[in-house]
Amino acid sequence: IKDRETLYRLIISQLFYDGHQTLAVSLSNMVKAHPACPPSDRLLNIVSAGLRTEQETKGIKFSALDQPYTGPGIDLEYETEAPSLAPEPALYETCYVTSHKAQCRAGTFSRDGQLVATGSADASIKILDVDRMLAKSAMPPEVAAQESAQQNMETHPVIRTLYDHIEEVTCLEFHPREQILVSGSRDYTVKFFDYSKPSVKRAFKTIHEAEMVRTLAFHPSGDFILVGTQHPTLRLYDVNTTQCFVSSVPSDQHKAPITTVRYNNSGKLYVSSSKDGDMKLWDGVSNKCICTFPQAHDGNEVCSVYFSHNGKYVLV
């Protein structure tokens, strides 16, 4: 029964993906699919993979006439160029829009890609469910208009709205393992929110900083968090005790406000950038700077830095 339900959900998602909203909604109502099925081409990929496997296992042998002629001359009908390995260009379309009362200043995905958090100049934070956003965007207006208040609440993409800052939210980070969202703000605070509880709108833990918070980064274990502020000194906090650590070597630090901090996937290294134009590479264990790239962009402010997935490169 479970496999059959999965099949129905895949069919509904494929119909939405292909633009057959009426058929998808009709089938969804018949099988009472819950939660709503977002648009997806997963069924097409599964069927394509199955057909390829089936063809390979048949052990088809081609006759000599089917083989490309390799002697002198050119076969104009034979594709001589190797197929390109580059992915097809992505086409991005707006699928869902939500709004704050003021400008949106920060946004981030959870590690599994299931949630999105947005922070605003109005000091509020919203957490949205990605599948619900996709399902809502694929739902015909006439179907959405017929939803009851209860149904709308159950399928609404915004699952949490958090209020605890008194100034603009500048940065957001999801905990890598727990249902915790961390935010930084112009009000000089870093706040920890437990979004596993629907009724909770306030932070359960607050770190008070000396300057406005500009950037955050969780260690892959989730036990530590880096905080970059308007002050040039980079801070490392123990998430459980909120104890602060800084490098014991003053020259390790930047000379202007910090713009970005990022860990690599192993947590053994992290990188920081600053308005002083420098990019610094740090030891994730000793918390000391191991390399500085001065004037990385000819002395201009470095706005952001990111590690490649394998950790061998840094995009500045």
Question: Has residue 75 got a pLDDT over 60?
Answer: no
Query: Residue 109 — pLDDT band, cuts 50, 70, 90?
Result: very high
Question: What is the pLDDT at residue 65?
Answer: 46
- More confident call, 76 vs 250: 250
Interhelix angle 2-17/42-57, nearest 10 degrees: 110
Query: Residue 307 — pLDDT band, cuts 50, 70, 90?
Result: very high
Q: List pLDDT tens digits, range 255-296.
A: 999 999 999 999 999 999 999 999 999 999 999 999 999 999
- More confident call, 53 vs 152: 53
Question: What is the pLDDT at residue 201?
Answer: 93
Question: What is the pLDDT at residue 78?
Answer: 54
Task: State which H helix or E strand residue 117 sits in.
Answer: strand 115-120
Question: What is the pLDDT at residue 7?
Answer: 86
Task: State which H helix or E strand residue 181 sits in.
Answer: strand 180-185
DSSP three-state, residue 25? helix
CB contact at 8 A, 191 and 197: no
By residue count, the chain amounts to: 316
Question: What strands lie across the sheet with 279-283, from one edge to the other?
Answer: 258-263, 269-274, 279-283, 289-293
Strand 205-208 and strand 213-218: pairing? Answer: unpaired
Average pLDDT over residues 172-184: 97
Question: What is the pLDDT at residue 57?
Answer: 72
Average pLDDT taken over every residue of the chain: 87
Q: List pLDDT tens digits, range 13-30.
A: 888 888 787 888 888 888
- More confident call, 42 vs 182: 182
Who contacts 302 (Cβ-Cβ below 8 Å, separation ≥6)?
259, 260, 273, 274, 275, 277, 278, 279, 296, 316
Residue-range domains of the chain with CATH: 2-58 (1.20.960.50), 104-315 (2.130.10.10)
